[in-house]
Amino acid sequence: MNKKILALVLACMMTLVACFAMAETLTVTAWDPNFNIPALEAAAADYKAEHPDFELVINTVSGSSDVELAMTTAGSSGDYSTLPDIVLFQDHYIQRYVADYPDAWQNLEGAAINWDDFGAEKLSYSTINGTHYGVPVDNGTAIFAYRVDILEQCGYTLADVTGITWDRFIEIGEDVWAKTGKYLLSMDGSGNDLPYMMLQAEGLSQFKDGEPFIVENEAMVQIISKLVEMIQKNILFLSNDWTGYTDGSIMGDQVAGVMNGNWIIPTISQVADNSGKWEITTLPTLTGAEGYAANGGSSLYITANCKNPDLAKDFLAKTFGGSTKTYDAALRDGGVITCCISAGQSDVYKEGVPFFNGQPIYSDIVEMGSHVPIVEQNDYHYTCRQYIGAAIQEILMGSDVATALQNAESQLRFAMDL
């Protein structure tokens, strides 16, 4: 064969091989090397077992804000070439970014995913105008964890704090404080996520038809009143910041109860001496029905820069779309709890957890997540939390509830340019 022809043939073959190799590689950007990254590594290993030529290149950034900045920069310039194939994105922010930069994303229509196998509330973030854009990763379902040893000292069991009203919770909290000097609940005064979860457990939002729903929201008024009462009666420990919340109250052994997204579990579990002393249950409500809520969480999205969306869809579908192997490893290696209902029924999920007194908390959390009600979301979610937190401080300093909440709503309306 002519040397020139041979060289040309070899060059073409090398090009085809390179293209094939590139076609089997995906890039993803995410944060948290102790949480999300192990989950992605688990998914990559799972998919590679059936696709030996597959490689997932993971770009680890310091936080979700880095992803948001990259998307903003690319979206503002209209140049998506700097983006990875897939990004991990916060649930509470995604709808705004899809609205602002609709061309930056590729939807997941056609992906072989049983969407009915996920909790409806979780999917409500990544489903926009009836179209699926993201695959859920971490489960943000809220839990109420109690020190059952302290409850028992005061004559209570976990059943006594399950399916109760906030009024009954306050009665028990007063008793626990009187007998042990411990708070029955804590809250980060800089994040103010507790009012949101309490309201969602009632099936309500801080927004209605795109506008603030605070002053005329009777459940919100009652919830804020209950929170203030709990603070004043030493039932709720209100920290100044996140460090005070985690290190001071939870790990500092000041509290007998913690209510937050289940991602708080690693914080609770850091105190080895408390192993076997904690159990989890649902949230109290104003009516006494068992309450369900969520706080936090993220999903994976395909960007406009992905040159092989079919590969990306297949990878996501066969891993986070429902693979027990992916989710079992993600749970063991990074503590990531699935949002996929069937995956939450695996033997790994049903194992009793020694730290939580042998309770199979992970399968319980997946079950709880299937009951979280869908409530209206808004781009000003975190801004609202800021003003609600300020209102609580105003009331503690002597303002009446109605005035403080009116101030919060007025400030929020101004921020929203309404």
Does residue 144 contact residue 161 with C-beta atoms inside 8 Å?
yes
pLDDT in the model for residue 7: 39
pLDDT in the model for residue 271: 93
Does residue 378 contact residue 210 with C-beta atoms inside 8 Å?
yes
Which has the minimum average pLDDT: 148-152, 173-177, 338-342?
Answer: 338-342
Q: What is the mean pLDDT of residues 44-60?
A: 97
Q: In this model, does residue 225 exceed pLDDT 70?
A: yes
Q: How confident is the model at residue 63 (pLDDT cuts 50, 70, 90)?
A: confident
Pairing of β 86-90 and β 257-261: unpaired
pLDDT in the model for residue 113: 96
Q: What domains can you pick out in the chain, each with its CATH number?
A: 15-140+295-345 (3.40.190.10), 148-293+373-415 (3.40.190.10)
Q: In this model, does residue 305 exceed pLDDT 90?
A: yes
pLDDT in the model for residue 4: 45
Q: In this model, does residue 173 exceed pLDDT 50?
A: yes
pLDDT in the model for residue 35: 86
Q: In this model, does residue 49 exceed pLDDT 50?
A: yes
DSSP 302-367: EETT-S-HHHHHHHHHTTTTT-HHHHHHHHHHH-PPP-BTTGGGSHHHHS-BGGGTTB-HHHHHHH
Distance separating alpha carbons of residues 347 and 400, to the nearest angstrom: 52
| Polymer length of the chain | 418
The residue among 240 and 5 whose pLDDT is bigger is 240
Pairing of β 236-239 and β 185-188: parallel
Does residue 385 contact residue 193 with C-beta atoms inside 8 Å?
yes
Closest CA to 121 of 92, 143, 86: 92
Q: What is the mean pLDDT of residues 123-145?
A: 94
Does residue 326 contact residue 42 with C-beta atoms inside 8 Å?
yes
Q: For the chain, what is the largest distance between any 2 Cα atoms, rounded to a whole number of angstroms?
A: 95
Cβ-in-10-Å burial (0-12, 13-18, 19+) of 186 comes to buried
The pLDDT tens digits for 369-385 are 999 999 998 889 989 99
Does residue 137 contact residue 39 with C-beta atoms inside 8 Å?
yes
How far from chain centre, in Å, is Cα 395? 29
**Alpha carbon of 390 to those of 104, 159, 379, 386: distances in Å?**
36, 34, 19, 6
* Structural tokens at position 50: 């059936």
Q: In this model, does residue 322 exceed pLDDT 50?
A: yes
Q: In this model, does residue 20 exceed pLDDT 50?
A: no
pLDDT in the model for residue 23: 56
Q: How confident is the model at residue 92 (pLDDT cuts 50, 70, 90)?
A: confident
Which has the minimum average pLDDT: 131-140, 195-204, 279-288?
Answer: 131-140
Q: How confident is the model at residue 337 (pLDDT cuts 50, 70, 90)?
A: very high
Instruction: Give CB contacts under 8 A, 24+ apart, made by 324-333.
Output: 325/42, 325/46, 326/39, 326/42, 326/43, 326/46, 327/42, 329/38, 329/42, 329/45, 329/46, 330/38, 330/39, 330/42, 330/43, 331/362, 333/38, 333/39, 333/41, 333/42
pLDDT in the model for residue 15: 36
Would you call 108 helix, strand, or coil by DSSP?
coil
Q: What is the mean pLDDT of residues 48-69?
A: 94
Q: In this model, does residue 6 exceed pLDDT 50?
A: no
Question: Model pTM?
Answer: 0.86
Q: How confident is the model at residue 14 (pLDDT cuts 50, 70, 90)?
A: very low
Q: In this model, does residue 339 exceed pLDDT 50?
A: yes
Q: How confident is the model at residue 407 (pLDDT cuts 50, 70, 90)?
A: very high
pLDDT in the model for residue 144: 98
Count of C-beta atoms within a 10 Å radius of residue 270: 11
Instruction: Give the relative orientation of helices 381-396 and 401-415 as an angle to the nearest 10 degrees.
Output: 150
Distance separating alpha carbons of residues 233 and 83, to the nearest angstrom: 51
The pLDDT tens digits for 271-303 are 999 999 999 999 999 999 999 999 988 999 999
